[in-house]
């Protein structure tokens, strides 16, 4: 048993070198993981600060909009703002040098049932408002084909030459999957 290290065992030496490299990689990953963890904590801290700042500005905007709305409404009611100064339409607009103050009407047209609207448009020959959309079910089609000897073949082994589909050459990949517990 004491002689197991004697002689040359090239594969054993290679495996030993692999193990050493894996240990170094795991230590580097652990150190990087610590660094990433700290960075994520700092990012979270800054995101929280950013969110609070955004909430403060939104609150300030809401207060300003409310104040301006009330002042303009009162000015209209009191006759300070003359009707000819206001543009009416789908929205009411009052213009000052630095901004347009816009009252949006409280109603809008909204589609609530596309199927019923589609039927209405078909029945009333409103063809300009209809479209036909065709899609390739790529994920389903891709499951039925594979690459063999540089050709695309179907599940029956028949060579296909579908237009719009190519075999793309890309570099092979190598990965390391740890067995057991990481150090």
- Residues 113-138 have pLDDT tens digits of 899 998 998 898 988 889 888 888 88
pTM of the complete model: 0.44
Res. 148: pLDDT tops 70: yes
Domain co-membership, 15 together with 74: yes
Answer yes or no: are the C-beta atoms of 68 and 61 closer than 8 Å: no
Residue 86 counted as domain residue: no
Answer yes or no: are the C-beta atoms of 94 and 88 closer than 8 Å: no
Domain co-membership, 26 together with 73: yes
Domain co-membership, 116 together with 155: yes
C-alpha 93: how far from chain center: 36
Domain co-membership, 26 together with 70: yes
Residue 120: its H or E element: helix 114-123
Highest mean pLDDT among 33-47, 63-77, 96-110, 154-168: 33-47
Residue 5 counted as domain residue: no
Domain co-membership, 76 together with 122: no
Residue 23 counted as domain residue: yes
Answer yes or no: are the C-beta atoms of 44 and 52 closer than 8 Å: no
Domain co-membership, 72 together with 126: no
Domain co-membership, 64 together with 114: no
Core vs surface per residue 78-99: b (16+ CB within 10 A) or e: eeebeeeeeeeeeeeebeeeee
Domain co-membership, 114 together with 152: yes
Residue 62 counted as domain residue: yes
Domain co-membership, 31 together with 72: yes
Domain co-membership, 16 together with 67: yes
Res. 38: pLDDT tops 60: yes
- Rounded CA-CA distance 143/152 in Å is 12
Residue 173 counted as domain residue: no
Res. 13: pLDDT tops 80: yes
The pLDDT assigned to 4 comes to: 56
Q: What are phi and psi of 25, to 5 degrees?
A: -65, -45
Domain co-membership, 17 together with 73: yes
Residue 138 counted as domain residue: yes
Triad 31, 33, 39: Cα angle to 5° = 110
Q: Where in the sequence is the domain holding 142, given as residue range(s)?
A: 109-162
Residue 100 counted as domain residue: no
Number of domains in the chain: 2
End residue of a domain, out of 80, 99, 117: 80
Residue 174 counted as domain residue: no
């Amino acid at each position: 048993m004491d002689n197991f290290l004697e002689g040359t065992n090239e594969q054993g030496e290679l495996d030993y070198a692999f193990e050493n490299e894996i240990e170094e990689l795991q230590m580097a990953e652990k150190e990087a993981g610590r660094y990433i963890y700290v960075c994520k904590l700092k990012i979270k801290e800054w995101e929280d600060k950013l969110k609070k700042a955004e909430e403060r500005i939104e609150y300030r905007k809401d207060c300003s909009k409310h104040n301006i709305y009330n002042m303009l409404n009162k000015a209209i009611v009191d006759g300070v703002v003359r009707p000819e100064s206001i543009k009416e339409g789908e929205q009411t607009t009052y213009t000052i040098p630095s901004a347009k103050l816009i009252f949006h009407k409280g109603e809008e047209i909204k589609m609530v049932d596309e199927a019923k609207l589609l039927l209405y448009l078909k029945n009333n020959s409103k063809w300009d408002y209809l479209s036909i959309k065709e899609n390739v079910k790529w994920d389903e089609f891709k499951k039925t084909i594979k690459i063999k000897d540089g050709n695309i073949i179907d599940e029956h082994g028949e060579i296909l030459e579908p237009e719009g589909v190519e075999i793309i050459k890309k570099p092979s990949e190598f990965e390391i999957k740890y067995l057991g517990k990481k150090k």
